Structure 1
Amino acid sequence: MSKQEIEVLLPPEVAYDEFARYRALLAAAGLEPGAADFVHLRKRSIDARGRQPLVRLRADIWLTPPPADTFGPWFQYADVSRARRSVIIVGAGPAGLFAALRCIELGLKPIVLERGKDVRTRRRDLAALNKEHVVNPDSNYCFGEGGAGTYSDGKLYTRATKRGDIQRILRLLVQHGATPDILVDAHPHIGTNKLPSVVAALRDTIRAAGGEVRFDTRVDDLILAQNHLRGVVTAAGKALEADAVILATGHSARDIYELLHRRGVRIEAKPFALGVRVEHPQQLIDQAQYRLQDRGPLPAASYALVHQTQWQGRQRGVFSFCMCPGGFIVPAATAPGEVVVNGMSPSRRDSRFANSGIVTAIELEDMDLAQHGELAGLRLQQQLEQRACALAGHTQRAPAQRLGDFLKGTVSSELLETSYQPGLVSVDMERVLGPGLAERLRQGFRDFGRKIPGYVTNAAQIVGVESRTSAPVRIPRDRDTLEHPEIKGLFPCGEGAGFAGGIVSAAMDGERCAEAVLALF
């Protein structure tokens, strides 16, 4: 076995051409074409700090055939249909699906309960939401197989490197149909057009191994006995019992927070973020980030921005969130009478628009804890979402304002073309956000305009509201056992419990919760 590890900087036209890249990597290693048995690309990232953007590549060059297990192994699953122990998993998002797969590996039978529909059937409800403005409370961009990530981008980048094995999660996704590029790219991304088939494959694996995945099965109650969670009761009135319950419902399942609060299960208010989506022409962002008139083979440019603001003696961060290059803004409401926006990108990121959440931190002191207690953050979300709906005409059309007009405090006389399919209504966005949020966002946008040339312009517009950034409630758990500190058999999990922020971190948390359940026995 003989291997060389190299790192090079290449022009984009070389880095993104398979044959040219191969020759350049071998030349960097001092080898002639054909001298290597295999070239394995390990990492790819874009360095746009110089006058011209370059692509940084790390690769392994094998001069002899690599060992058989170099790029694996793929995961195998034994049949658990007759397992002695079973686990109810509430929610079929990444936390729930990966918890189920890990349960199978550990010899536990998972029973996944999803309030929404499978990915294929779910598309009809998304079409009705976009075209007819009809919100199905159980099937929308947030609820359904795969969770909120399935139809809202598929970003896989995470900073949660200490919470689990990121490469394991990525390999599982590749095993189920994701592009192998996610093992290489610095900011991996599947794309909302490809993620549904990956999610369906994960479900098929669970079922093939004897696990269960049940759709249209909303949990409406808990089977509690002497502070021990024995199971759940579905909306159809069916009682289901198991050895443990992993609660992986996502951060938009407000009825679960209400249920826990009503049943006396301890929950806590937690900080989150609120704001808007800003939409630019993608070409403007490309030119600003790459300093090129034509980006050529480079992917659609993105950005990450943050600024500390001051308002009425309180310092709060304003930052970009879920930036979607070459993407679309989508309606993310989960109930009639509210307007919520989110972003997504197809795998090619080839839309003419770039959009990003621009949000500000909401701390506990910004909430009305005296009136609403643990649900204060949730009530603040609802207040803004309902106001956005009312000011935009009580449909799924969203309130919007040109960015330059927002900074001047001027209502836009007309709006721009948009990727948001239900349509926009020109509104003074300060009426939606309130003066405090509006002022923080204005300070943030002004700073972002200094960092990215041309960012602050009336060729961009803001769309509201971006309110589902993370859970406004935390469901506490023991740091070591991951079990609720007061309710035995309850394992709060993922974004909805306040312990993850994205597909990969949620998936890793699902695996950890499955391992914690096994430790009970």
Structure 2
Amino acid sequence: MVKEIEIVLLPHEVTDETVLYRKASESLKTALKRIKDVKIVKRSIDARSRKVVYRVKAEVYIDENNTPEIFSVNYPNVSDKKPVLIVGAGPAGLFAALRCIELGLKPVLLERGKDVRQRRRDLALINKNGLINPESNYCFGEGGAGTYSDGKLYTRSNKRGDVQYVLRTFVAHGAEEDILIDARPHIGTNKLPQIITAIRENILNAGGEVHFDTKVTELLIEAGSIKGVKTADGNIFTAEALILATGHSARDVFRLLRRQGLSIEAKSFALGVRIEHPQSIIDQAQYHCAVRDPYLPPSYYSLVEQVDQRGVFSFCMCPGGIIAPCATGYDEIVVNGWSPSKRNNPYANSGTVVQVNLTDVSNPEDPFSLLDYQAETERRAWTAGGGNLVAPAQRMIDFVNGKLSNDLPSNSYLPGAKSADLRDVLPDEIHSRLQKALPAFGRKMKGYFTNEAILVGVESRTSSPVRIPRDRETLQHPQAKGLFPCGEGAGYAGGIVSAAIDGMNCADAVKKLLT
């Protein structure tokens, strides 16, 4: 017999099996000797009161043993099956490929960047020398932007597909099983490359193809139907279906579609800065303590405020994290954040952004209007930083008071930060709302509003400023049969899990087309 219970545990009790069994016995009023196993299926931290606890949902096995689940994959061989082109090897592309294999289709994955191992060298040049490879960076390459930007798996995408299936697939490829039970699952940038490599190896072992350093420069369309693609090296890949999963930073792909007469449209996004505090300040505020309990992880926060009829909110919060340089071009500054699996760095950072709407541009009918708005802000950040990926930055209270910071606090941004007035970087509608929101955030969270915090500009790649339209039922572009816009870059996802789900949904739609 298996029964489900909900119990409350102190931080030091959550890994103590003896306490877990005793609590289960007390909750069910069942003799301890009858309990054969207690399996935690969900756990979350409750820090609403001064006494921080874990809330745990568990399955209790009474008078019967629990058979441990084995996470493995056994994909069929599809080497001689019908090919499906997948452009982009981020979460959407990789999960689309895996789903194609399950459906008996052969994925042919084309990635403009390098594999994860080679990519590391380009990231080292970015961080140490401020040198950008426009084809291999934090955004482009195997695994996409998610590989080297944290691996946070928290999502609200349950209505779009099976979140647990995505998490279990990650576990089957090497992720810790904790991601199946944590309320805010996280893999960590240090562990993601091995997982992504394992996914690629399974694609290849099943007879799929993966091509790196392969940039698509033309879609081959005849009589309104996809026939294949041409790449920068002159090669042609043919197929009747193409899943376009190129990510939110592939601006050349948007322009390629427009040149070929395919419709695209401007889409609202969010823009702001990345804010970094000492992690100790966040822990003290959220855990109501002077020093964080060693049994508790570094704390996170989520803040939102309405300012002048527009939302200002924290985004992609990284406890124990690092601010990363995520530009994809030579004359732009873009920042993001990531954390290692242990989240043991001394800083906490979060994107803090304001919604950008079509009303913010003079030519809203232009599909590139918000992309140009985004790019211009990134160029101003480059100019304010002075080059070599040095980012413009300001202390928090100085920012609100319109004062140039005399110096900057130590921070995690490796290319370096330069004191600047962020009014010279951010559009007025963004800057003014951030100025009003930060003190309000400070009233919500003790210690948040401090000059020990640094604002680093700019956080601009929160989502794609362009949407590639697709039919709601078939998921195909209305002007090109067999073209399936997919994931964040197409405007249909907002993170690793939602992108993975969208990739699988597109693979399902491809199967319907080709059957």
TM over 0.5: yes
Give the 3-state SS of the residue equivalent to 2:246 in structure 1: coil
Which AA in structure 2 matches 1:10?
L
Which AA in structure 1 matches 2:484?
F
Greater Cα shift, 459-468 or 439-448: 439-448
User: Distance between the aligned counterparts of 1:62 and 1:193, measured in 2?
Assistant: 35
Which AA in structure 2 matches 1:210?
G
Q: Determine which of 457, 464, 476 is the counterpart of 1:464.
A: 457
* Mapping 1:54-65, distance limit 5 Å: 54-65=53-64
Q: Determine which of 331, 336, 349 is the counterpart of 1:355.
A: 349
Which AA in structure 2 matches 1:106?
L
Give the 3-state SS of the residue equivalent to 1:121 in structure 2: helix
User: Distance between the aligned counterparts of 2:203 and 2:63, measured in 1?
Assistant: 38
Shift of 1:409: 0.4
Q: Determine which of 490, 494, 506 is the counterpart of 1:497.
A: 490
Matched, 1:278 2:275: yes
Which AA in structure 2 matches 1:226?
A
Q: 2:410 is matched with which residue? A: 417
User: Distance between the aligned counterparts of 2:65 and 2:86, measured in 1?
Assistant: 40
Matched, 1:260 2:288: no
The TM-score with structure 1 as length reference comes to: 0.96
Q: 1:52 is matched with which residue? A: 51
Which AA in structure 1 matches 2:458?
V
User: Distance between the aligned counterparts of 2:69 and 2:368, measured in 1?
Assistant: 46
Matched, 1:335 2:321: no
Which AA in structure 2 matches 1:43?
K
Q: Determine which of 493, 500, 504 is the counterpart of 1:507.
A: 500
Which AA in structure 1 matches 2:84?
V
Which AA in structure 2 matches 1:508?
I
Matched, 1:163 2:160: yes
Q: Determine which of 421, 442, 452 is the counterpart of 2:445.
A: 452
Which AA in structure 2 matches 1:76?
N
CA deviation map 1:54-109 (0-9, x unaligned): 100010011244575x84674421100011x1100000001000000000000000
User: What is the aligned residue count?
Assistant: 513
Shift of 1:279: 0.4
* Mapping 1:33-432, distance limit 5 Å: 33-65=32-64, 71=69, 74-83=72-81, 85-296=82-293, 297-310=295-308, 315-369=309-363, 373-432=366-425
CA deviation map 1:110-156 (0-9, x unaligned): 00001111111100000000001100001000011100000001010
User: Distance between the aligned counterparts of 1:17 and 1:344, measured in 2?
Assistant: 30
Which AA in structure 2 matches 1:365?
T
User: Distance between the aligned counterparts of 2:114 and 2:240, measured in 1?
Assistant: 26
Give the 3-state SS of the residue equivalent to 2:274 in structure 1: strand
Shift of 1:270: 0.5
Shift of 1:179: 0.4
User: Distance between the aligned counterparts of 2:53 and 2:3, measured in 1?
Assistant: 22
CA deviation map 1:231-255 (0-9, x unaligned): 1111101111112000001101111
Which AA in structure 2 matches 1:60?
E
Shift of 1:39: 1.6
CA pair 366-495 structure 1, distance change in 2 beyond 3 A? same
User: Distance between the aligned counterparts of 2:507 and 2:65, measured in 1?
Assistant: 34
Structure 2: state its 5+ residue gaps: none
Shift of 1:435: 2.3
The TM-score with structure 2 as length reference comes to: 0.97
User: Distance between the aligned counterparts of 2:332 and 2:16, measured in 1?
Assistant: 46
User: Distance between the aligned counterparts of 1:241 and 1:428, measured in 2?
Assistant: 51
User: Distance between the aligned counterparts of 1:4 and 1:190, measured in 2?
Assistant: 29
Shift of 1:262: 1.2
User: Distance between the aligned counterparts of 1:21 and 1:389, measured in 2?
Assistant: 53
8 Å CA contact 2:129–2:388 kept in 1: the answer is no
Tell me the C-alpha RMSD between the 2 structures: 1.4
Q: 1:29 is matched with which residue? A: 28
User: Distance between the aligned counterparts of 2:453 and 2:22, measured in 1?
Assistant: 42
User: Distance between the aligned counterparts of 1:280 and 1:177, measured in 2?
Assistant: 32
User: Distance between the aligned counterparts of 1:56 and 1:253, measured in 2?
Assistant: 41
Q: Determine which of 461, 479, 495 is the counterpart of 1:486.
A: 479
Which AA in structure 1 matches 2:36?
D
User: Distance between the aligned counterparts of 2:36 and 2:494, measured in 1?
Assistant: 40
Shift of 1:20: 3.8
Shift of 1:31: 4.4
User: Distance between the aligned counterparts of 2:442 and 2:144, measured in 1?
Assistant: 34
Give the 3-state SS of the residue equivalent to 1:433 in structure 2: coil
Which AA in structure 2 matches 1:403?
M
Give the 3-state SS of the residue equivalent to 1:276 in structure 2: strand
Structure 1: state its 5+ residue gaps: none
